Amino acid sequence: MGLSKFFILRVLHEGPMHGYDIARAVERTTGGCCSPTEGTIYPVLREFESGGFVTVAEEVVSGRQRKVYALTEAGRAAFRVALEAWMEATAALQDTGRAFAAADRARAARPSGGDCCG
């Protein structure tokens, strides 16, 4: 699952929201790292709705008709699975980073072969 989908499910754990609120909550949750646009949010929400991960209700907010999205139990389960997968990927990336740093340190500690003393 891509990060934008992951974070959309994440913020819907806070409660039902309309699309604009979802986008702002994702931006806030990620510290601005992920700022989904309407062109990203709404296709994902339609996909989640057709997959049974969210429900949609029409609501009047400030005099305007809005679609409000809420996470279903299937959506909560999908988020848990995605969270576990991203945690495993994060651990693997951290291990890779540590191995890369150790290899760099070892390479830097080796004497360079170009200086010969005879």
> What is the distance between the alpha carbons of residues 59 and 62, in angstroms, rounded to a whole number?
10
Around Cβ 11, how many Cβ atoms within 10 Å?
20
Around Cβ 108, how many Cβ atoms within 10 Å?
8
Q: What are phi and psi of 54, to 5 degrees?
A: -135, 155
pTM score above 0.75: no
> What is the distance between the alpha carbons of residues 24 and 101, in angstroms, rounded to a whole number?
36
The pLDDT assigned to 104 comes to 80
Of all residues in the chain, the percent with pLDDT exceeding 70 is 93
Mean pLDDT calculated for residue range 69-82: 93
Instruction: Output the CA angle 47-75-86, nearest 5 degrees.
Output: 95
Residues 6+ apart with CB under 8 A from 34: 3, 4, 7, 26, 27
Around Cβ 4, how many Cβ atoms within 10 Å?
17
Q: In the predicted model, what is the mean pLDDT of the chain?
A: 86
Helix H or strand E segment including 91: helix 73-109
State yes or no: pLDDT of 54 exceeds 90.
Answer: yes
Which residues make beta-bridge pairs with 59? 66
State yes or no: pLDDT of 77 exceeds 90.
Answer: yes
